[in-house]
Amino acid sequence: MAAHSKPAQLGPWGKATAGAAGAAFANVLVYPLDLIKTKLQVQVKKSADVEKQEATASNEVHYKGTWDALTKIKNAEGIAGLYAGMNGALLGVTSSNFAYFYWYSIVRTLYLQYQKSDAHPSTAAELSLGAVAGALGQLFTIPVAVITTRQQTQNKEDRKGIIDTAREVVEGEDGITGLWRGLKASLVLVVNPAITYGAYERLKDILFPGKNTLKPWEAFLLGALSKSIATIVTQPLIVAKVGLQSKPPAARNGKPFKSFVEVMEFIVKNEGALSLFKGIGPQLLKGFLVQGILMMTKERVELMFILFMRFLSKLRSQQLGKAAALAAAAKVASPVIAK
């Protein structure tokens, strides 16, 4: 069927590479938003008087919002401060998206083969396939996310490189398993990409029915809308995951959280229920831009892969044709030489 011609031409490695390239490109463009939303999500909200007292005592900076964080980081560390920890973040984003799209392509292909039908999977099936792919990807890539979160939430004076930060995590209370801190929350959070790509497929059928290749603005719109839906639904879990993977707040006297439920209980008790959605502004904006750019770029990269593969196939056919012609000519000439 025409609707499945594109996946048939591009295998899991091609789709994974396209997804990883799109994610890396998108995250480079909006990385400061990622840094700011992480800092907003990990800080503990306090009254103005308490905030001033603790900030003076510990030199810890508190941010009132996205613009305040942007301004304070730039003034304290310069433009470079807005890109702190970017190397680890890009490694994490690229590897996690590669793993996600690789496993999603495989499990979706297996599902369609099992169904023995050309019909699109239902919304529930799309969500389930996305969850399975996300869970498989998280098992391999969460250590990079832990290291990146730790880097993003450290002060400039305490900030270390990827290797040194990993060593600091391993030398902590949890040992080597500290690199998988927040795994349970991450596995629960596979519903985020599951909702994102499930919504993407549904919205694609609704807004652009029958289209196999989307225009850049169409792919951007679908990606941005689907990610916004997923972010609003899962924001409390995102905040809890960041709390698990960063250093514990001063109020816990260095005692790390043990579960994302414990993080959420701490936030509700100390800051109120609405703080489960802290940082949602930059989180939504980042997700809107990143997912829009990712899907727009992914569609273009997939198309480039397909054209490149067709070129290689055509080139190979030409070479085989020339080889066959030479072999035929040699066979005709050989009786003459024998005489």
Which position has the token pair 């603005």?
217
Distance CA 303, CA 335 (A): 49
269: left (phi over 0), alpha (psi -120 to 50) or beta: alpha
Long-range contacts from 108-111, C-beta under 8 angstroms, 24+ separation = 108/133, 109/7, 109/12
> What number of other Cβ atoms are within 10 A of residue 24's Cβ?
18
DSSP code, position 65: S
Residues 196, 226: contact at Cβ < 8 Å?
Answer: yes
Q: What is the pLDDT of residue 335?
A: 56
Could you report the per-residue pLDDT of 48-77, keeping only the tens digit for each? 544 555 544 455 678 888 888 889 988 988
Tens digits of residue pLDDT in 268-302:
988 888 888 888 888 888 888 887 787 777 777 76
Output the pTM of the full model. 0.60
- Dihedral (C-alpha) 235, 240, 243, 245: value to the nearest 10 degrees? -100
Judged by average pLDDT, the poorest of 40-49, 73-82, 193-202, 204-213 is: 40-49
Distance CA 258, CA 58 (A): 25
Q: Which two tokens stand for residue 215?
A: 């225009």
Task: Dump pLDDT digits (tens) for 305-329.
Answer: 666 667 667 777 777 777 777 777 7
pLDDT tens digits, 195-206: 887 888 888 888
- Burial group, residue 58, by CB count within 10 angstroms (0-12, 13-18, 19+): exposed
Q: Which residue, among 245, 272, 274, has the nearest Cα to 42 in the 3D structure?
A: 245
Distance CA 143, CA 169 (A): 10
**Helical H runs in 171-275?**
183-188, 191-207, 216-245, 260-271
